[in-house]
Amino acid sequence: MYVVMVYDVGVERVARVLQVGRRYLTWVQNSVLEGEISPAQLARLKAELKRVIEPTDAVRFYLFPSREALRVETLGSSKNEPTQFL
């Protein structure tokens, strides 16, 4: 599946959430990661994030069956393009 993860967390946890997310996905923009991931990897990612975030934080996952099902439009420059493949 293809996953887009976005997060809004306390400043003291931003680096840690990014570090966990980058183990599974590609960082593409501030607080946004995306890439191909298996259901088992997604479950591990969520479990790791639950140990890092606080109740006031938010992490959202947008799930798509494949990269082809996602249409992305960018204004301005892209920071990084996902290149991970399973």
Q: Is 8 annotated as a binding residue?
A: yes
In a domain, 57, yes or no: yes
In a domain, 74, yes or no: no
* Model confidence, pTM: 0.85
Provide mean pLDDT across the span 35-57. 96
In a domain, 77, yes or no: no
Name residue 76's amino acid: G
pLDDT top residue among 86 and 32? 32
Domain that holds residue 59: 2-66
Compute the mean pLDDT over every residue in the chain, rounded to the nearest whole number: 91
Q: How many domains does the chain have?
A: 1
Predicted local distance difference test score (pLDDT) of residue 83:
58
Rounded to 5°, the CA angle 31-21-65 comes to 90
In a domain, 32, yes or no: yes
Which pLDDT band holds residue 36 (cuts at 50, 70, 90)? very high
Which pLDDT band holds residue 85 (cuts at 50, 70, 90)? very low
Q: Which of 43, 41, 32, 44 is nearest to 70 (CA)?
A: 32
Q: What contacts 85, CB < 8 A, 6 or more positions away?
A: 36
